[in-house]
Amino acid sequence: MNRRYFGTDGIRGPYGGPVVNEGFFLELGQAVARWLRGRGASAQPVLVGRDTRGSGPSLARAFGEGVALGGFRPRHAGVVPTPAVAKAILREGAALGCSVTASHNPAADNGIKFFARDGSKLSDADEAEIESLLGEPGPRPALPGTDPGSLEGFVESYVEEVMRVLPMDALSGWRVALDTANGATAVSSPAAFRALGAEVISIGDRPDGANINLGVGSEHPGALCGLALSGGARMGVAHDGDGDRCVLCDEKGQVLDGDEVLTLLALEGLRRGTLRNRTLVVTVQSNLGVDRAVEQAGGRVVRSRVGDRYVAELMRSEGASLGGESSGHIVNFDYGATGDGLVAALMVASVMLGTGRPLSSLRTDLRRFPQAQRALVVREKVPIDALKALPAAIRSLEQEFGAAGRVLVRYSGTEPKLRLLVEAQSDAVVGAAMDRLVAAARSELPLA
């Protein structure tokens, strides 16, 4: 399903560009209102949150004005984590929620993410319908130059809800290193950890509108690792700019990725009998070692396309409760319908408490398969199934590997690149397989 403006996770781009500007956001608000009326909603509030980017207030205000022109009441939450908006929709009786954010992108970018009445992200079909309603004639009043303000107690309610993951004072005696990326979690995550009894040492907690994700946060975990190691922290937590994911480091200052986190959470869920349907959902990017670890413990792994909302969709269809991406999006339906970096970090702390094992030990439950990745720049994205040599090479390797390896070949959704991934049980086998794929691709694709 082709969509012009929406990508894998909402709309995103440079602020002031053809899409991320006040005029477009005004039209978008009106289109969303039309879409909501078509779904039977009427006069219900629409929640609007944002991260700390300097462009956030004017974009949120413009979107809210569009919503109001369409007959709905915008309720501005101000600076809040994206998952806080998703969780509040039912509590506030809202027709829809959105967050004005560009996630882990630099401050020069911005965008918007949407959530349905149940807190889940909109589907591809929903987004396509909204796009079809854009551009209809409508009034364009001058926008006031003031910040729309924010709801009282919004962050506090979110923190109280998230703290249900652990008993009160469960982290008493802990020291936690925290990097909030100068973003939307600068208040909420420290408050939650401290309320649970932890001592917090922090960086990336001085947002100024221009420094979100600037050398800090989930994309730049090096400083966090140094802080955790030098400060004697039991764990380090780095959020992205809007707080829907996290990257962790252990007490030795070593980074864990989402695959390691998902594996340790799934294995603990299997031990406790809380992993619904004994199923973990990951994407096609996750390492095959995740499958091996979970299957050996009596569970199963199913894979979705890349994107946390596709993970959540497959979780619903499979009756699963846990899923996520190697990038750090972790979804647990016991605590919400979408990814939440703070919840993920607290779930990991719960496993540490329950097992008595440090994070450096828990991470060893995942034994990765050797992996290689290549990206070939192409002049034209010729459909892979229209080729001969490349599909033949893929089939041949899959037959040779069986369950002991895998091959993934796909075009990038945003760049003129063919992406190749190979996993197998030895580096030598991986290297030889990658050479075969590259040779096949070069033989029949117009490479740049």
Residues 282 and 275: beta-carbon distance below 8 Å: no
Nearest to 61 by CA among 76, 46, 44: 76
3-state helix/strand/coil string of 125-184: HHHHHHHHCCCCCCCCCCCCCCCCCCCCCHHHHHHHHHHHHCCCCCCCCCEEEEECCCCC
Pairing of strands 175-179, 279-283: unpaired
Q: For residues 261, 306, 240 and 250, what is the CA-based torsion angle, rounded to 10 degrees?
A: 20
Residues 225 and 359: beta-carbon distance below 8 Å: no
Type of residue at 362: L
CA–CA separation, 129 and 119 (whole Å)? 19
Reading the block at residue 314, the tokens are: 């497959």
Reading the block at residue 34, the tokens are: 């039309």
| Residue 172, Cβ density class (10 Å: 0-12 exposed, 13-18 middle, ≥19 buried) | exposed
| Catalytic residue of the set 55, 58, 99, 103 | 103
150 labelled catalytic: no
Reading the block at residue 168, the tokens are: 């009160």
Residues 134 and 148: beta-carbon distance below 8 Å: no
Reading the block at residue 378, the tokens are: 């192409």
Pairing of strands 279-283, 73-79: unpaired
Residues 52 and 209: beta-carbon distance below 8 Å: yes
Type of residue at 283: T
Residues 39 and 103: beta-carbon distance below 8 Å: no
Residues 66 and 26: beta-carbon distance below 8 Å: yes
Catalytic positions, written as ranges: 103
